[in-house]
Structure 1
Amino acid sequence: MNIYILEDQWAQQAHLEKTLHEIEEEQQLDPLHINLFSNVTDFLKGLPSPSVENLFLLDVEINDDLQAGLKISQRIRQTDLFSSIIFITVHNELLPTTYHYESEALDFIAKDQDNVKQKLTKDLLHVASKSKHFPAPTLLLKVSNGFLRVSLDDIVYFEPSPTNTHQSLMHTVNNQITTINANLNQLSDRSSLFFRTHKHCLINLNKVSKIDTHNHLVTLSGAQAPQPLSRLKNKALLSKLAELNN
């Protein structure tokens, strides 16, 4: 589960992070990947690709803006319909306002109450359950005649188009090749599972089955041939795979 906390008070950040890890251990949840932000600008830069595994914990008031968290939730919902949003605040009176922003919040938690951990436990268990029963995340990709929605599980790798520098060729598990109207740099930001093994190759980390460090190749499940692996990318690739395994 990927958790993104927007909270401008350091002590509150630390308390939330500690509480979440306590719940993780007590409930034996899969590892929580917690990302902390204290201002709106950095938070928006760090927004992830849409996923049912994303959970946003938003303080309603940020840097004296009483509705900052509500505005952020609206931004999130413009591109991400799968994630869960929780508001946490001392301003209980703002609860009715959340409905005007159509953020479809999972919960609204008052910081000054004694049931914060109890409510967060219930919410995390709900998101964990939803993640197990929800279809695999998808990407909406631009193609020549419109848009194509593709399951991340189906994507093996991308390579540059030989005829157009603004396009890429997407290779999927059914051995189909589709031209995508985006280059590898643009595509690499679409999912944390994408990794640039070489200037001519962007892979799906979940498809890695073998790494040949001697010949600088990476074998991918669903690919007809091994793909290039830059010498400079060896350690970074192993590190990313270790993160996924944990």
Structure 2
Amino acid sequence: MCHNAAFGEAQDSLELGSRNAVNVVYGPNFQTIRELQDSTGCKLDIARGSTTLKLSGSNEAVSDAMARVRALLNANRGFDMTIDNSKVGAVYGKGGATLRSIQDRTGVQIDVERGPTHATVSVMGTPEASERARHMLQRAIDGEVELGPGEVAEDIELGSATAAVIGRGGSNVVDLEKRHGVKVNVRSELQVARIVGRPEKVAAATKDIEAIVKPILDAEKAQKKADEAVQSGESAWQVTPED
């Protein structure tokens, strides 16, 4: 903490570390930060785009506010979850509906940061709220989504074409969702894609996915037949004809 003698006030700062932590300090509609300022007499400020909290006021006010902010953050630690980029769409949901629903129903703050191949989902909230959010996120990732009015779900077996459907860093999934206005969740371990949305949009997205899958599976079948033919020919050649 430093003291500005010219203005007779103390100043301090705290690096919050993430946008989620910033949102926890702000609170819904900036209610939390206002209450902190009103109850401590300390001025709290976070510059746009920054994760550093600046505090100014009397020594007592700054110390009190700092202690309360630290306690608030300690009570809202949450967790980080690493997911494949192809699952980001499942976390957001159509138009961000799934993400908003989880935040509204649990009271947690959720931030998603994409990397080259994987994304980090950061959750901040009370232990109880964070645990509820964890289960809801996992259900969304696993494709256990609630259908909206008039929506349908279609499952497509992808087989060896799974990686091609996902695309580099989930790019194909993102493109399909944007182009058709559907939600596409690919379960790589099961080699299955689930498409959720209005029937006509699901049908259009299914057609596009099948256009990716069919040539790959057809080529795989053709190769398998060729291999079987070669093996069969080798076996026949190896048999010595009787005199």
TM-score bracket, normalised by the shorter chain, equals under 0.3
Q: Which has the higher strand share?
A: 1
Identify which of structures 1 and 2 has the higher relative contact order when contacts are C-alpha pairs closer than 8 Å and 6+ apart. Answer: 2
Q: Which has the higher helix share?
A: 2
Q: TM-score, normalised by structure 2?
A: 0.25
Structure number with larger C-alpha Rg: 2
Q: TM-score, normalised by structure 1?
A: 0.25
